[in-house]
Amino acid sequence: MVNTDMLLGTGNYTRADEQAGFEPSVQEQCQQTGMAALVQTLQLATPQESFATVIQGIDEPFLSFAGWLTAAVEKQVSDPEARKLMLQSLDQSNCNAVCKGIIEALPGDPPMSQMVEACARITPSSQQMVAVAMAVQPAVATVIQLLQQSNQPCLRPCSRLWLLLCNWLWLLLCSLSETTGDKPHPMMINKSQLYLD
């Protein structure tokens, strides 16, 4: 049986020869516990990245961001009430623009669970759709501009090939939006711009 005097080296266990008589398993457990405490002390002494610098990435799910932020705050703030207030404030101020808009639209002072639930509705596919549209838009605009400037009769804005190409681009962008249930993003393409004279 291990008691407090044995672990602290007090009472009948103040002398080293008395401590040496411990069971080997007790000595091993004391060594492991002491080493773990030393490692933890060293970890606490090393400077850590401030929790205020944890910011949600553009495509990062809110739940993942909240997890990283919670872990950082828990390591650096010991008071549970202060943690809760900091997390609620930082979740709102350090999230990306999309989640910030969603959280600001929530009534009152929403708890973390409500923020996570509201931001979880943002699907990666809808984020991808906007990202694809933003990436494709300059290329589509360049192609349209080149085709409009072309002297080839089959590529003039009123030609059949031109209309076919424009309709194909429009259908492609609409099909991207249908996979997510969203309407085509206004930045994707303006259909009226495809039929310029």
DSSP 77: -
What are the structure tokens assigned to 114, written together? 């409500």
51 is written with which tokens?
């929790």
Domain ranges of the chain: 4-45, 51-120, 124-195
Q: What are the pLDDT tens digits along the chain (197 aa)?
A: 677 787 777 888 888 887 777 788 877 887 888 888 877 777 666 656 677 888 888 888 888 888 888 888 888 888 889 888 888 888 888 988 888 888 888 888 888 888 888 888 775 555 555 556 666 667 666 766 766 666 665 555 566 666 666 676 766 666 655 544 545 444 344 444 444 44
The domain 51-120 having CATH identifier 1.10.1200.30: the answer here is yes
Q: How far apart are CA 91 and CA 70, in angstroms?
A: 9
pTM (global) more than 0.75: no
